[in-house]
Structure 1
Amino acid sequence: MKTPILACLLTALALPALAEKADANKPIEIDANAYKGNALTQGVEYTGNVELTRGTLKVRAGRAVVKEDEQGYTYITLFADPGKLVSFRQKRDGGDLWMEGEAERIEYDDKSEVVKFFSRVKLRQLEGTRVTQESTGEHFTYSNRTEAFSMINDASGTTREGQPRVRTVSQPKVIKPAGKQ
């Protein structure tokens, strides 16, 4: 493989605030109730309570499909079980900072270094347990190469009139009075 299966997903999931750099040197662990693969198609499907872990990154899904192309690029799609969501949580560099979120489906393309979240997307930045920013929408895209990101109001990735609007709520910074710890 050109890069580890989730190498860019790790930083991409952290949005503009980079994921903990040490995670890039950690092994990827995938636990599931079962998996099946096909050497001819270079694909593996994990099913049942799928848990992907790499350092501080924890992803939970109902099913994960991992494929590799002829050039060694990896493509991963994480699916939620019916009525549930794929979820992730990862530490960010610096202090007790975290990124977490959820969606019905998450796709990662190693070749383009793009991660996409589909349907019922919710992303949160936290300081400890305090949510400092939360964004919701139906389609979220992040490019690891350009660090560009977008939230769209329709799961198709196209803005549609009449659909619910995207929303971001940012909390004010907690400023400690001078002389207080």
Structure 2
Amino acid sequence: MKLRSFFPLLCGLWLGLAMPAAQAERADRDKPMNIEADALRHDEVQQTSVFTGRVVVTKGSIVLRGERMEVRQDPEGYQSGVVTAESGKRAFFRQKRDTPAGAPEEFVEGEAERIEYDGRGEKVRLIRRAELRRYRAAALSDEITGARIVYDSGADVFTVDGAPQGSKGGGQGRVRAVLSPKEAPAGGAAPAAPAPAPALRPSTELGTGGVQR
């Protein structure tokens, strides 16, 4: 059975303990950023590039998709980007998580009207109509929605904020989460066997053909 929880306005939802033993793919930050789009405008002085039209970004296991993306690179080589969706739609984010040897693969997926990728801080911010999902062995495991979700892949922490009451697309100021129960670790102890039934003993109070009262 899945647990459904509702949290108040601007509630921080910390899932580091709910999603243990896995972090974002550690090699992603060192991989090159590959981008495809219909058009590109690059500013060498400002070190910014603006891609427009069916933008697809890959960086290691990270995938970003949207209608427009502005990419910046700081003097130390760290890359950051802001992906925005086409009107009425949402941009997309996906990243593989490191898991122990032999464990099923895990992925984190997110959607929002605006997605901010911070390569230096290893954070992804999902803004407006935000949704984040975790898949384990290709099966949906956990799902959270809110107005703003911050995924800190380095610390393996998710923070979710609700929206002010009455705001557009705010979901009535609530955060919604569906969390699957934590699975027992592989090779765990087997359940204890039931206690044996007591041995039957002959009664000394029964006569021949009699019935014990």
Scaled by the length of structure 1, what TM-score is found?
Answer: 0.73
Of residues 58, 64, 83, the one that matches 1:59 is: 64
Structure 1: how far apart are the matches of 2:95 and 2:179? Answer: 19
Flag the 1:55–1:104 CA change in 2: closer, same or farther, 3 A: same
Amino acid at match of 1:52: V
| Residue in 2 that maps onto 1:8 | none
Of all paired residues, the percent bearing the same amino acid is 38
What corresponds to 2:195 in structure 1? Answer: none
Q: 1:96 and 1:142, CA in 2 relative to 1: closer, same or farther beyond 3 A? A: closer
Which residue number in structure 2 is paired with residue 165 of structure 1?
A: 174
In 2, the alpha carbon distance for the partners of 1:75 and 1:22 equals: 16
Contact 2:83 2:91 in 1 (8 A): yes
Please give the secondary structure, in 2, of the residue aligned with 1:141.
strand
What amino acid is aligned across from residue 115 of structure 1 in structure 2? Answer: V
Provide the secondary structure at the position in 1 that maps to 2:23.
coil
Give deviations 1:77-119, integer Å, cap 9, x for gaps.
Answer: 1101111111122221223211111110012345655432111
Alignment of 1:94-173 (within 5 A): 94=99, 95-110=104-119, 114-143=123-152, 148-154=157-163, 160-161=164-165, 163-173=172-182
Match of 1:45 among 27, 46, 50: 50
Asked whether the equivalents of residues 24 and 154 of structure 2 are also in contact (C-alpha less than 8 Å), the reply is no
Taking structure 2 as the reference length, what is the TM-score of the superposition? Answer: 0.63
Pick the aligned partner of 1:31 from 36, 49, 74. 36
In the alignment, what sits opposite 1:87? 92
* CA-CA distance at 1:140 after TM superposition: 1.3
Change in 2 beyond 3 A, CA 1:101/1:148: closer
Q: CA deviation at 1:134?
A: 0.4
Aligned residues: 159
Unpaired stretches in structure 2, ≥5 consecutive residues:
1-18, 167-171, 191-213
Give the Cα separation in 2 of the matches to 1:109 and 1:126. 22
Selected match of 2:25 from 15, 20, 27: 20
Give the match's secondary structure for 1:40: coil
- Give structure 1 stretches of 5+ with no counterpart: 1-14, 155-159
How far apart, in 1, do the equivalents of 2:85 and 2:179 lie? Answer: 27
Please give the alpha-carbon distance, in whole angstroms, between the structure 1 residues aligned to 2:105 and 2:120. Answer: 32
Structure 1 counterpart of 2:84, one-letter code: F
Measure, in 2, the Cα distance between the counterparts of 1:138 and 1:43.
Answer: 28
